[in-house]
Structure 1
Amino acid sequence: MSDEEIGRGLVRGDEQCLALAHRRWSRLVHTLAARVLGDAREAEDVTQQVFLSAWRGRAGYRPERGPVPAWLVGIARRKTADALTARTRRLDLVAAAGAALQTAVTAQGDPERVLDRIVVTRELARLPRDQRDVLTLAFFGDLTQVQIAHRTGLPLGTVKSHARRGLQRMRRGLAAEG
């Protein structure tokens, strides 16, 4: 069956065309998602979401505007972006929870430590999101750079660069304040 026939079948609601599209192009969708996300399991979820969205939105597919694989790649890009956004939200929640927990623990102790924590938290907030996320996971989550790379899907070298640049920016900011 040709790509055009699969596309027309999808628009008509032919489930066999959906199954055929999945067999032909799920590997392409999965590969694209895995490259962006850096996590095969998360890419599997995105792949399922892409084909589910394609099925639900099949009435909006216009074969004259492009072939089925291009349409699926467009859906995959949006679903991958959604997955990255969700990951960032999860990391922000983890970082906020870790910061709140640490603040509660240190509030019972030395007032100087509490003040230091406030200053450091303010400097962290000034960092770009990637650097802030890495440093928050390192200090509040007590994760190694390898663990951070695994959890975020970032390459280890990128995690190390974000940590180094973030610490340098924090050092300059704290030095400027005296």
Structure 2
Amino acid sequence: MTTAQRTGADIDDSALVDAFLRGDETCLATVYQQWGSLVYTLARRALGDAREAEDVTQLVFLAAWRGRAGYKPDRGTLPGWLTGITRRKVADALAARTRRTELVAAAGAELMLRATDEAVRPEAAIDHVLLADEMSLLPAPQRRVLNLAFYDDLTQTQIAELTGWPLGTVKSHARRGLRRLASRLREDDPVACAA
């Protein structure tokens, strides 16, 4: 009987680890059956949210499968390795939660500032906050060029004169900054990511 044909009960841990490292997909299901509840429990306790814990559990096993070549049995057990991945994925989830909370708070503040304008749509305030947040992540030269272009309504020639940079440098910073923004905004857009 091959490793792929055995059930989880028939495979001892070392054989399971060997098959997992070789890329035997049936072993992934067995690994999930054996340690999925451990990963879920750790995520649930840390996050306090069942749905988020389920998402993290899936991410952990996906990361484990994709990164299985990085697991070294002589450095620790498979459940220990999965626990380490879980901690990192929980930290990522908490950081994303914090970022979402900050964006919502900033969008609310933006709406309050613009409350006197009846034409303001909530989506516009959220877009403004999201764009400002992404702009803050750009390297300083790219951020400066785009801020001068978007908010000060300067042409690239005027930006070159103001900064003292060559026109080609200003154009390069603008192009790279726009590409980064487009890439980052596509990553944050669940509709674009699903397409």
Deviation at 1:103, TM superposition (A): 1.1
| Of 85, 89, 93, the match for 1:83 | 93
Residue in 1 aligned with 2:28?
18
The Cα offsets for residues 40-67 of structure 1, whole Å up to 9 and x where unpaired, read as 0000000000000000001111111111
* Cα displacement (A) at 1:85: 0.4
CA drift of 1:107 comes to 7.5
1:46 corresponds in structure 2 to 56
The alpha-carbon deviation at position 106 of structure 1 amounts to 5.0
> Aligned equivalents of 2:26 and 2:45: distance in 1?
29
TM-score by length of 1: 0.58
- Please identify the structure whose Cα radius of gyration is greater: 2
Structure 2's unaligned 5+ residue stretches are 1-10, 119-195
In structure 2, C-alpha distance between the alignment counterparts of 1:63 and 1:3, rounded to whole Å = 11
Report the Cα distance in structure 1 between the residues aligned to 2:75 and 2:21, rounded to whole angstroms: 14
Question: Is 1:9 matched with 2:19?
Answer: yes
Runs of 4+ in structure 1 off by over 3 angstroms are none
**Matched pairs, number:** 108
**Cα RMSD for the two superposed structures:** 1.3
Aligned equivalent of 1:71: 81
Structure 1 or 2: more helix by fraction? 1
Q: Structure 2 length as normaliser, TM-score? A: 0.54
Q: Which has the higher contact order (CA 8 A, sep 6+)?
A: 1
**1:27 maps to 2:37:** yes
Deviation at 1:90, TM superposition (A): 0.5
Work out the CA distance in 1 between the residues paired with 2:116 and 2:90: 39
Identity percentage of aligned residues: 62
8 Å CA contact 1:4, 1:67 repeated in 2: no
Q: Which amino acid aligns with 2:29?
A: A
Find the aligned partners of 2:22 and 2:34 in 1 and give their Cα distance: 19
Give structure 1 stretches of 5+ with no counterpart: 109-178
Residue 105 of structure 1: SS of its match in structure 2?
Answer: coil
CA-to-aligned-CA distance 1:107-165 (integer Å, 9 cap, x gap): 89xxxxxxxxxxxxxxxxxxxxxxxxxxxxxxxxxxxxxxxxxxxxxxxxxxxxxxxxx
